């Protein structure tokens, strides 16, 4: 065993039940405030165990796996078990006060590093390029969140998952499990993966119980147990009015808080349409609050939200300090209905630079293992989209109604140009989705029979993909083409040189505005 005699001599103390930790007395707290505690002890059978901790997270490493604990109110609480399938830890070398090297069977070694003053640790995996390794984590979680680069994170709940197991696309690089109790999260990030799954040990289990990742060759994993009072919150009461109600939950620190909503689908067949909306700080002093691309608080004085695709709506949530307020989500567009029975959680995966949340939450921390290119590939690409049709026509109609169209001709022409850009952008994105649907449907047709076990889910996916074409065929009769839209825009432009009275121009502008809004969706 390649560890120092200092650590070996601690076996009697540890066997008698005394575990060295950062929480055992004031003097120990002072000594270990910025140090990592590492202890090795041997059992009478010759087996060994290694204790590694930093006051934020604790790892008990044995031949068969690793027990992971987080610190809450100074006490270590066991949260998860990590198991290595077909892999046994045979020896251990101390590298420094925060890292150890685990020598394993099958020509594999792992370098395990706890980050300083952080609830996260990293596993650098070194095995032959063709060697496949499987790691599993076991825990109790009430939800799993897969962060989507375009904000609409995927939030899954055990009761809504019919099958015992579901698969996670490796390209997301992160999964966050909201652990029972609301005070901790198990976050897992990976460099590369062959296959990832999570699920329930039994179909009727009320919690997600495990996460499994299959990796090859040299790789890196990052696992964390961030903990704080009220780290996440399940919404217990479904609101029936658009009057705000203050909730008992308080945001424990500054972060990019979000809440999920499940939209009842407008497609002919069922489809997962869970969306996460930001929970912004309440501020009526500003003109508007941009939340992310396509959605904003357009009128903070009445807390009115605006979504580029669906127009205005009473924005449902806000924070005032750390106090949380919520009201019923209700879109003016009646075809958009939210499932009031679907579970909801308030959570955060990201945080502003320099905030407390930046040191706790998975998206800032995963930058330690992911390359800059990987982070860039998952970031939102900001493309200029022009001006929304509803807001654009509203501004123009107000100008015509006030009789200022001649004086504000340049402003009107600028708005019309931006509306044209927006319509071209929407059609371009629609074409991309349609082309993608054709490509994926073609691939499914050629390949789904190669794996009989996947045929049912592939057939289900094919039905949903076909809906994209059906929905487009129906709506394209309304949207028409960018050329048709530009023709209506030119009619508004023509009003600027019209000899008609202001009243007639106002009426014509209002009619053209209705046509443009219809064509804009």
Q: Hey, what's the torsion of the CAs at 230, 236, 242, 243, to 10 degrees?
A: -60
For position 265, what pLDDT does the model report? 65
- Residues 6 or more apart from 19 whose CB is under 8 A from it? 39, 51, 76
The b-or-e profile of 370-395 (16+ CB within 10 A means b, else e) is beeebeeebeeeeeebbbbbbbbbee
pLDDT in tens, 114-143: 999 999 999 999 999 888 999 999 999 999
**What percent of the chain is predicted at pLDDT more than 90?**
52
Q: 408 φ, ψ to 5°?
A: -110, 35
pLDDT at 1 over 60: no
Measured at the CA of 518, the angle between CA 151 and CA 512, to 5 degrees, comes to 130
Q: How far is CA 322 from the centre of its chain?
A: 21
Q: Which two tokens stand for residue 476?
A: 């394209």
Residues, the chain, total?
521
Range in 66-80, 222-236, 406-420, 460-474 with the lowest mean pLDDT: 460-474
pLDDT score, position 437: 92
Q: Read out DSSP for 465-504?
A: HHHHHHHHHHHHHHH--HHHHHHHHHHHHHHTT--S-HHH
Q: Where are the alpha helices (DSSP H) in 342-481?
A: 362-365, 372-377, 389-401, 409-447, 455-479
**Rounded Cα gap, residues 474 and 122, in angstroms:** 51
For the chain, count helices (H), then strands (E). Answer: 10, 29
pLDDT of residue 144: 96
Query: Which strands form 295-299's sheet, in the order they lie side by side?
Result: 289-292, 295-299, 304-307, 311-314
pLDDT score at 30: 35
Tell me the C-alpha to C-alpha distance, in Å, between residue 64 and each of 93, 134, 143, 225, 475.
17, 13, 27, 21, 58
* Confidence tier at 295 by pLDDT (50, 70, 90): confident
Residue 317: partners with Cβ closer than 8 Å, 6 or more residues away:
259, 277, 279, 324, 325, 326, 327
d(CA 213, CA 68): 17
Residue 293 reports pLDDT greater than 80: no
What is the pLDDT confidence band of residue 11, given thresholds at 50, 70 and 90?
A: very low
Cα→Cα distances 400→39, 92, 123, 502, 506, Å:
78, 78, 65, 7, 5
Q: List, in order, residues 6 or more apart from 62 with CB less than 8 Å away.
A: 47, 48, 49, 50, 89
Token pair for residue 467?
């809906």
The per-residue pLDDT for 414 is 95
Lowest mean pLDDT: which of 159-173, 226-240, 372-386, 439-453? Answer: 372-386
Q: Where in the chain is the domain with CATH 2.70.98?
A: 5-224
Longest dimension (CA), the chain: 102
Tell me the DSSP string of 43-72.
-TTS-EEEEEE-SSEEEEEETTEEEEEEEE
Query: What confidence score (pLDDT) does residue 459 get?
Result: 87
> Do 289 and 297 contact (CB within 8 A), yes or no?
yes
Q: Tens digits of per-residue pLDDT, 14-29?
A: 322 222 233 333 433 3
Written as six digits, the tokens of 343 are 């579970």
Which tokens sit at 449? 């029979």
> So what's the pLDDT on residue 3?
37
Average pLDDT, the chain: 85
Burial classification of residue 91, based on how many CB atoms lie within 10 Å of its CB (0-12 exposed, 13-18 middle, 19 or more buried): middle
CB-CB contact of 305 with 315 (8 Å): yes
What's the confidence (pLDDT) of residue 450?
Answer: 87
Closest CA to 185 of 127, 225, 243: 225
- Specify the 3-state DSSP secondary structure of 507: helix
CATH architecture of 5-224: Distorted Sandwich (2.70)
The SS3 call for residue 42 is: strand
CB of 126 within 8 A of CB of 112?
A: no
């Amino acid at each position: 065993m390649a560890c120092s005699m200092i650590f070996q001599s601690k076996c009697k103390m540890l066997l008698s039940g005394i575990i060295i930790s950062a929480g055992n007395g004031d003097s120990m707290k002072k000594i270990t405030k910025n140090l990592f505690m590492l202890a090795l002890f041997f059992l009478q059978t010759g087996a060994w165990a290694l204790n590694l901790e930093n006051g934020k997270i604790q790892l008990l490493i044995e031949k068969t796996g690793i027990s992971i604990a987080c610190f809450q109110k100074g006490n270590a609480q066991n949260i998860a078990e990590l198991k290595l399938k077909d892999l046994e830890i045979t020896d251990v070398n101390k590298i420094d006060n925060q890292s150890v090297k685990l020598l394993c069977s099958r020509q594999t070694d792992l370098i395990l590093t706890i980050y300083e003053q952080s609830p996260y640790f990293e596993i650098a995996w070194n095995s032959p390029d063709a060697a496949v390794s499987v790691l599993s984590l076991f825990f109790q979680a009430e939800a799993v969140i897969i962060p989507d680069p375009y904000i609409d994170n995927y939030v899954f709940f055990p009761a809504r998952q019919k099958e015992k197991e579901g698969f996670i696309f490796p390209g997301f690089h992160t999964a966050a499990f909201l652990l029972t109790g609301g005070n901790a999260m198990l976050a897992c990030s990976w460099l590369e993966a062959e296959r990832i799954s999570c699920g329930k040990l039994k179909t009727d289990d009320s919690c997600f119980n495990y996460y499994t990742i299959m990796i090859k060759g040299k790789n890196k994993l990052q696992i964390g147990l961030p903990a704080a009072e009220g780290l996440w919150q399940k919404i217990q009461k479904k609101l029936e009015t658009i009057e705000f109600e203050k909730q008992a939950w308080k945001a424990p620190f500054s972060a990019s808080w979000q809440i999920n909503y499940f939209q009842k689908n407008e497609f002919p067949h069922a489809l997962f349409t869970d969306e996460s909306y930001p929970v912004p700080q309440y501020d009526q002093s500003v003109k508007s609050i941009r939340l992310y691309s396509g959605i904003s608080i357009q009128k903070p004085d009445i807390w009115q939200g605006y979504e580029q695709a669906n127009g205005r709506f009473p924005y449902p949530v806000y924070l005032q300090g750390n106090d949380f307020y919520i009201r019923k989500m209700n879109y003016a567009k009646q075809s958009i209905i939210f499932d009031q029975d679907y579970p909801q959680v308030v959570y955060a995966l990201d945080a502003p630079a320099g905030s407390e949340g930046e040191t706790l939450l998975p998206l800032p921390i995963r930058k330690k293992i992911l390359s800059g290119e990987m982070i860039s590939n998952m970031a939102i690409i900001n493309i200029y989209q022009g001006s929304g049709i509803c807001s654009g026509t509203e501004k123009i109609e107000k100008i015509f109604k006030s009789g200022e169209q001649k004086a504000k001709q340049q402003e009107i022409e600028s708005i019309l140009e931006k509306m044209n850009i927006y319509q071209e952008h929407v059609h371009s994105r629609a074409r991309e989705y349609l082309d993608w649907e054709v490509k994926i449907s073609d691939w499914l047709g050629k390949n789904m029979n190669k794996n009989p076990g996947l045929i049912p889910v592939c057939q289900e996916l094919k039905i949903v993909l076909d809906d994209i074409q059906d929905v487009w065929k129906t709506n394209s009769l309304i949207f028409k083409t960018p050329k048709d839209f530009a023709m209506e825009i030119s009619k508004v432009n023509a009003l600027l040189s019209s000899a008609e009275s202001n009243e007639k121009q106002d009426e014509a502008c209002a009619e053209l505005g209705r046509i443009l809004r219809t064509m804009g969706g």
